Amino acid sequence: MLTPTLTILSLFSSVALSKIYEDVADLPSLQYDFVVVGGGTAGLVLASRLSENTRVSVLVLEAGESHVGFLNSQVPLLSPGAQASGTPYSWNYTSTPQAGAAGQTFDYSRGHMLGGCTSINGMAYTRGAKADFDRYANLTGDQGWSWDKIYPYFIKNEQWAKPADKHDDSCQYNSSVHGKQGPVSVSVPGYAYPELEKRVIQTTKDFPDDFPFNLDYNAGSPLGVGTFQYTIGKGERSSSAVAYLTPSVTKRPNLSILLHAQVAKLVNLPAPRPSSSTPSTSSLKPPSPGVQFRFRGKTFVAKASKEIILSGGAIGSPQILMNSGIGDRAALQSLGINPILDLPSVGANLSEHTYFQMSWSVNTNHTVEALWQDPVAYNAALAQWNKSHTGPMVDALPGSNVAWLRLKDDSPLLAMYDDPSPGPSAPHFEIIIQPFGPGLPGHFISLTMAMISPVSRGSITLSSADPFADPLIDLGVLADDFDALALTEGIAQALKFVSGPAWTNFIIAPVTDLGAMSPLELTAHIRAHANPGYHAVGTAAMTARGSQYGVVDPDLRVKGFSMLRVIDASVLPLVPSAHTQAATYVVAERGADLIKQAWS
C-alpha cells in the first residue's frame, strides 16, 4: 500500500515490563509446567489464562520484539507501517510465485513481536457466520466447536468500547451480542466520513433486496451491509499484547516471557501413540520433553513437565512440527530430517482469502488522501492523536462499512460446482467500503472485495533442514478457477452497489473501467491485481479423532502425542467467512479451558 510511514519513538517506551525478559540469562528457570511457543495472538491468551492458576508455571518463548513503544502498532491509521517488511517487527516472508495470480509473489506480513499479527493487523473484528463454526463442529465431531458453544468465548474475549469521538453508536451495532468485560476492546470507527457513510446506508434503502441493512454482522448471520467493527479502544489498537498482557498479568510470579528466542524444534518427545488410545495426562518421566531454541546465536532447551503448546501461527507452528520430524515422511526424509511421525497434513490445506480493490475518484476532499497528500494535515492529525487519541488517526485503513454477500442463487457457478460456503446464511463475498483509493493523486473511495469461502488451497513446506530458514509459503491465491470465476461474477454486485441514485454527483469516474471488460478480460485483470488477505489457516487442521487426515484432535492435541498441542489459527480446518483474529481468539480461549480441564 502506498502510504507514508514514519518511524517515531513513542512516548510510552519507559513502561516497565518486569516479567518480560530480554535476556535468557535473566530467566528464573528453564523448566516449567507449560511451555508456550510464540507470544502472538493465541500465545498470549494462553499465557494469561494458564497463569491465572498460581500453582502452575508458564514460559512463553517469542522470537520477536516487545510491542511497547512501537508507534506504528499503536496508532490505527499507521498500521501499514507496522505491516511493512524490513523492520525488526516483521518476519519478512515472501510467498512463492502464485500461478493463480498471474505469477505474482507477495510480501506475507507476520508480526514478529508480542501480540503477533494482532500487533500489526487491520483490526477488523469479524466473528464469521454461525455456519462456519457449526461446520467446524461437523468436521471435528465435537459440538464444543459449534457456534452456540463457542459464543461464550467471543463474549469472554471482548469489551465493547465507545468510539474515539464518543458519538452515539446505538444504531451501528447490537449491544446484546457483545462482551462488556473481556480484555480486547472492540468499537465502531471513531472518525466519520459522513458523505460516504450516508450513501452506503441510502444504498441499503435503494436496493433492499440486493444490499439489505444488517445492524450487526457479528450476531451469527452476517449477510447484508452495516458498520465495520474494530479491535480498537480509546483510539488505540487493542492487540492481544495490549489486552492480555496487562501489568497485573506480567507481574505474576508464575509467568515468564522471553523475547528474541526463536524455537527450532521439539526435543525428547515420548514415542507417538496410536490416535485411538485415550490420551494420558499423568506426569511425565524424565527426560522431560522440551523445545530447543536459539537466543543470540546460542542454543538452549526449555523443558515442560505438563505440556508444550505451539502458538507460532499458521506458518510457524507447522514449520516447528516439520523441523521436529512430524510431517510428511517422504518429504522430511528427502531433506534429511528424521521422521518421528508420518502426518502428511502438517502444512497442507492452507486456506486463505483473496482481495481485489476497485476504486473511483470522488467529488469531495474528505478522504484519507487528505492526510497522505498533505504533510501539514498529516502531522496535525498525528499531533491530535498524540494529544487526545482523537481525529483521523484513530481508525484502521480497512473502511467505514462492510457488505457480506452471496453469489446469486441462479449463479451458473453454483450449478456447476459444490457450494464451498458453509451454508445459505454465510457469505461468499466481503466488500469493504473505504474512504481512500490506490495511492494516486486525488480523492477516491474503494470497494475492496474478497472471495471469503475459497476452494483454493496452499501449503507450508520446508525449504531446507535448517530450522531457521524461511519455509516455502504457497498461499494458493486463486489456485482454483472457482474462486476467480466467483469474484468475476461478484464484481457485478459491487458495480451495482455504486450505480444507485445515492452515488450520482459523488462518484466521478472509476480508476479502471471494469464494467467495460468482457468476463474473460475481467478474470485476467482480477488475477493480475489480486492480493492475499493475510488470513492463512488450516496448516495444522483439527479433525475428528480417527480421521484419515488432519494434524490435531478436537482437543487440539497433536494426533499421537498427549503432551503436545497446537493452539492458534493453524488449527482452523477451513478459513471462516471472516477475517481470522476473532476465530483465533476463541480457539485460544477454548484451548486454555481444555488444558485447565485436563489438569484440574
Ligand X SMILES: *[C@@H]1O[C@H](CO)[C@@H](O)[C@H](O)[C@H]1NC(C)=O
Ligand Y SMILES: Cc1cc2nc3c(=O)[nH]c(=O)nc-3n(C[C@H](O)[C@H](O)[C@H](O)COP(=O)(O)OP(=O)(O)OC[C@H]3O[C@@H](n4cnc5c(N)ncnc54)[C@H](O)[C@@H]3O)c2cc1C
Tell me the catalytic residues: 535, 579
Binds 263: which of ligand X, ligand Y, none (CB < 5-8 Å by kind): ligand Y
Cβ proximity to ligand X: between 493 and 543 the closer is 543
Cβ proximity to ligand X: between 44 and 491 the closer is 44
Contacting residue, 7, 14, 176, 504, with ligand X by CB under 6 A: 176
Cis amide leading into 287 (omega within 30): yes
CB 534 within 8 A of CB 117: yes
Cβ proximity to ligand X: between 196 and 348 the closer is 348
Measured between alpha carbons, how far is 311 from 289 in angstroms, rounded to an integer?
17
CB 462 within 8 A of CB 322: yes
Regarding 91 and contact with ligand X (CB under 6 A), the answer is: yes
Contacting residue, 196, 382, 431, 572, with ligand X by CB under 6 A: 382
Measured between alpha carbons, how far is 31 from 29 in angstroms, rounded to an integer?
6
Binds 580: which of ligand Y, ligand X, none (CB < 5-8 Å by kind): ligand Y
Cβ proximity to ligand X: between 443 and 579 the closer is 443
Local structure of residue 279 (DSSP, 8 states): P
45 annotated as ligand-binding: no
Measured between alpha carbons, how far is 263 from 241 in angstroms, rounded to an integer?
20
Regarding 138 and contact with ligand X (CB under 6 A), the answer is: yes
Measured between alpha carbons, how far is 269 from 153 in angstroms, rounded to an integer?
31
- DSSP codes of every residue in 197-211: HHHHHHHHHHSTTTS
Residues 28-67, mask of contacts with ligand X (x by CB under 6 A): xx------------------------x--x----------
- Contact residues for ligand Y, defined by CB under 6 A: 37-43, 61-64, 83, 109-112, 116-118, 120-124, 126, 262-263, 311-314, 316, 320, 398, 534-535, 568-569, 579-582, 584
Regarding 423 and contact with ligand X (CB under 6 A), the answer is: yes
Measured between alpha carbons, how far is 536 from 493 in angstroms, rounded to an integer?
26
Cβ proximity to ligand Y: between 60 and 487 the closer is 60
Helix 519-529 vs helix 481-497: crossing angle, to nearest 10: 100
Amino acid of residue 96: T
Contacting residue, 215, 331, 511, 598, with ligand X by CB under 6 A: 215
Regarding 88 and contact with ligand X (CB under 6 A), the answer is: yes
Cβ proximity to ligand X: between 325 and 422 the closer is 422
Give the residue among 185, 177, 188 at the shortest CA–CA distance from 159: 185
Cβ proximity to ligand Y: between 358 and 588 the closer is 588
Binds 254: which of ligand Y, ligand X, none (CB < 5-8 Å by kind): ligand X
Binds 469: which of ligand X, ligand Y, none (CB < 5-8 Å by kind): none
Q: Which H or E run includes 160?
A: strand 158-160
- DSSP codes of every residue in 398-445: S-SEEEEE---TT-HHHHHS---SSSTTS-SEEEEEES--SS-SS-EE
The grid coordinates listed for 252 are 505474576
Regarding 377 and contact with ligand X (CB under 6 A), the answer is: no
Regarding 159 and contact with ligand X (CB under 6 A), the answer is: no
Binds 86: which of ligand Y, ligand X, none (CB < 5-8 Å by kind): ligand X
Report phi then psi at 206, rounded to 5.
Answer: -70, -35
Cβ proximity to ligand Y: between 178 and 199 the closer is 178
Give the residue among 580, 591, 583 at the shortest CA–CA distance from 552: 591
Contacting residue, 97, 194, 208, 253, with ligand X by CB under 6 A: 253
The grid coordinates listed for 386 are 498524540
Binds 43: which of ligand Y, ligand X, none (CB < 5-8 Å by kind): ligand Y
In the complex, the smallest distance separating the C-beta of residue 67 from ligand Y, rounded to whole angstroms, is 10
Locate the DSSP E strands across 540-590.
Answer: 564-566
In DSSP terms, 563 is beta-bridged to none
Binds 215: which of ligand Y, ligand X, none (CB < 5-8 Å by kind): ligand X
CB 478 within 8 A of CB 527: yes
Tell me whether residue 171 is exposed, middle or buried, using C-beta atoms within 10 angstroms of its C-beta: 0 to 12, 13 to 18, 19 or more.
exposed
Contacting residue, 105, 334, 363, 597, with ligand X by CB under 6 A: 363
Measured between alpha carbons, how far is 33 from 222 in angstroms, rounded to an integer?
41
Binding segment for ligand X (CB under 6 A), chosen from 153-161, 363-371, 405-413, 506-514, is: 363-371
In the complex, the smallest distance separating the C-beta of residue 397 from ligand Y, rounded to whole angstroms, is 9
CB 559 within 8 A of CB 548: no
Regarding 174 and contact with ligand X (CB under 6 A), the answer is: yes
Measured between alpha carbons, how far is 471 from 85 in angstroms, rounded to an integer?
16
In the complex, the smallest distance separating the C-beta of residue 350 from ligand Y, rounded to whole angstroms, is 12
Interface residues with ligand X (CB under 6 A)?
Answer: 8, 11, 28-29, 54, 57, 86-88, 90-92, 112, 131, 134-135, 138, 174, 176-177, 215, 219, 253-254, 344-345, 348-349, 363-365, 382-383, 386, 422-423, 549
Residues tagged in the binding site annotation for FAD: 263
